[in-house]
Each structure stands twice: as C-alpha cells, then as structure tokens.
A and B are shown apart, each in its own frame.
Chain A
C-alpha cells in the first residue's frame, strides 16, 4: 500500500476592505454604534500595502516564515520592496477580482454587480464606500439563508475555488483526475431544514472541473484541515483514491475580529483579507514528502484537558511511536496567527505560546532544560504570519514551505499541530487537537 505524498500546496489571499464591516465583531459593534463604520474606514489599508506586508508574502511563498524573525515588529511598518502578487505557491487578489469571482461562483444569481442602488433586504457590496452591487437572501423566510450568510458561504466557496485552481495549475494536475475533495471551511452550508447540510466540497469540485470527483465537508472547527489531510492520506494509503484534493476557503465572519485594538492603537485594520488554501495528495512518487500515518497524534475524549495532556497526545506520543526526540523534528508548525494582529487586541502571541508549550513538554520529559527553551523555540518554531481566518492558520500554511525545503534537501521532518475550540459550539466543554508528521523522501 503506497504512502500518501503531498504533491502540492497553494494559498490565496483576497483583499476585501469593503467587507470588513460584515465581519462578526465589526457588524455587531456598528449596530450598537454607527460611528464605528467611520473608524474602520479611516484605518483600512490600500492594496499595495497588503501585497507588501511581509507576513502576506510569507503566506504565498515568497518569504520563509523563519526569515520574519529578522523583520522588526510591527511588520506592517516594514513593507517589502521585492513584494509581488504572485507567490512561489500562492497569489494575492484585489477586491475587484474577488467580486468578479464571487459573482462567477454563484449558481443562483444572488450576487448582482451593478452600480444601481442596492434594494432593501440585501447586503450591499461596495468599493471604497460606493455601491458596486449586492447579495440577496437565498430565501426571504429562511434564517439560514440571509443575505449576510449567503455572502459568507459564497465567499468561502469563491476563495476555495481560487486556491484549488492554483494548486491544480502548480502541479499540472488534470482536474478530471481528482477523485475526492475534502473541504475544511467553517461556514455552514444549508437551509432552514438542514442548517449545516454542507458539501461545499462538491460545489467547488464542480466549479473547477473535477468531473470525476465527489466530496464532503470535514467539520472540526479550526482543527478541520488536519483531520481532512489525515483522512485524505488514509484514502491514498488504502489504495481507494489516486488523487485527493483538500481545500479550505476564507471566513467573512472573521474579518476585522480584532479591529477595536487596531483602531485604538491607530494602526491599520489588518484583518482585511480572506485567506484560502488547497492541497493535492497522491501515492508516493519518490520525491514528494509523505504524510506519516504511523504517527498521527489525536487528542482523544479521555485524554484530559490540561495543556500537558493535550501536548502529550499531540506531540510526545507520536514522537515516541517513531522513536524520535523533540529536537529531531526540524520545524513544528503550530497555530500560526500573526501576532501583529493579535497582540494589539490583548490576545497575545498564539504561536509563541504553542512553541513554549512544546518546549515545556520537552523540559518535563527531561530532553531540554528550562534555560534552553528560548533557543529551542527559535530553532524549531517560527514567527506567526497567517491571517486570523480560523481553520486557515492551524499549522497547514507551513506545508508549502516544508514541502519546498524537503524537495531541496534542507529539511527532513516537519510536524503540523492543529487545535480546535469545540467548546465554542456549546455541545461539549472539550477542545480538540490533531497532529501529523511530514517527512522528506
């Protein structure tokens, strides 16, 4: 049975400043206090700034995340001169390009691009405040198909389509060779009788010409991409499929989530982009790195909720299974949220806390001393650089970089460690986590 190889990874960013107002936090705050809209508008950055923003260049593959260490914080003050829209494994799109693709991805004519006045009960689409169109409700009496929700769902679909197109082109894969698509986006696709019915995967497969594929949505909060990649790898290993696509679209709800902190510090509203990603898996080809299914980390129901229990399940146990020490993993890819975004809002540095936790576990396992923790974090971690788009930052943005380094012979092993805050859905107080190892061939 063949190992599952990572044949390609692609990432896309869409600058959508006029959609920031529809993010969950901005829309609620604007409803309480309409002047918040002006405050946001005064702090939006132009497209050039988004392209030149070093973390965005790292996201699309033009800069190694580790190299961000040498760029002074806050990084929005250090635009990259060599920045390009086209990345080694990704692309940045402007808002007009997004709106055009949004309309193209809409099979029910809910998206209208027009400079006419948006009708009542629609969600207006603007360009710097001027009307360029609107989104209708899916059905006037359906609370799960309001104009806002149709925009969210179509935005997730649209952004996923573009990332999928990029990875198909990058790997010169015939779309018709894809047999299955796993979607990891967190939007609920459905109607009033089946609010989260799903299968955005198949909608995207149709849009990109994957005529031999069906698919399904993997729902696991921010941990979904890790679950989906492991499931995809398992289908390859089992000989069930030859080509599997894993996708994840962007989240309108997460736009401007931390905007209050940004406005208060008079900095740009950095959560002005939708992010998406796509991966292709197939049987090992002798050169592409493989997903090691012998050492998948699972945070199980019975594992316990302490940080020690979580990281033991996700890191210690897989390492033990492979007979490896903590330092044998070249890079750990944890939740990679950009600290430029989170720190001004008082939410700390998420990747750093994750890396320190791994180092702490190494100390408690007797493989590291406490004074050696900072050096471990520098050597085996990286600065955060990914937009706070929920499931997107959860370790998997690094796969493009890891794959490139492994093909170049400069990296042997990378471990992706993903986590999900299931308790937010109020069905359980548990969190979730999943990890896997990518290995060079």
Chain B
C-alpha cells in the first residue's frame, strides 16, 4: 500500500498505537492525514 499522497484517517487506541503516532508515521510516508483520533475504552 503506497501511502504517498493518499488521505489517511488515523484511528489509534490508547493501549495499542496512539492516533498521533499513526499520524506521524503516515506523514513520514507522504500521506495527508485528515482525521486523527485515539480511543480509550476504560
């Protein structure tokens, strides 16, 4: 999956990988992150 110039929705989870980390990684790969969220279920 080539993320270059793709738009990304980053859905992170507190106990997994947080939204901001997904966002930063996707940005490194040239994506445009349009929405970032981190879920917490407890």
Contact = CB atoms under 8 A, between A and B. Distances in A.
Q: Please tell me whether chains A and B touch each other in their complex, using a CB distance cut-off of 8 A.
A: yes
Interface of A: 222, 257, 305-307, 335, 337, 342, 345, 347-348, 350, 353-354, 388, 390, 393, 419, 421, 423-424, 429, 431
B18 A350 contact: no
B17 to A, nearest CB: 7
10 contacts: A307-B17, A307-B18, A335-B42, A347-B41, A350-B15, A353-B16, A393-B42, A419-B14, A421-B40, A429-B38
Given A335-B42, A424-B40, A431 B15 contact: no
A350 B42 contact: yes
A138 B38 CA distance: 35
A354 B16 CA distance: 10
Contacts of B19: 429
Contact of B20 (A257, A337, A393, A429): A429
Given A348-B15, A354-B15, A429-B38, 6 more contacts: A305-B21, A307-B21, A347-B41, A390-B42, A429-B19, A431-B14
B42 A431 contact: no
Contacts, number: 40
B14 A421 contact: yes
B32 interface: no
Given A421-B14, A429-B36, A431-B14, A337 B42 contact: yes
A350 B14 CA distance: 10
Contacts of B41: 342, 345, 347
A397 B40 CA distance: 21
A429 B14 CA distance: 11
B21 to A, nearest CB: 5
Contacts of B20: 305, 429
Interface in B4-26: 14-21
A362 to B, nearest CB: 18
B40 A342 contact: no
Nearest to B20: A305
Contacts of B40: 421, 423-424
A429 B35 CA distance: 12
A345 B42 CA distance: 11
Q: Please indicate which of the listed interface residues A347, A388, A419 has the most CB atoms of chain B within 10 Å of its own CB.
A: A347
A306 to B, nearest CB: 5
B42 A423 contact: no
A305 B14 CA distance: 10
B21 A306 contact: yes
Contacts of B42: 222, 257, 335, 337, 342, 347, 350, 388, 390, 393
A393 B42 CA distance: 10
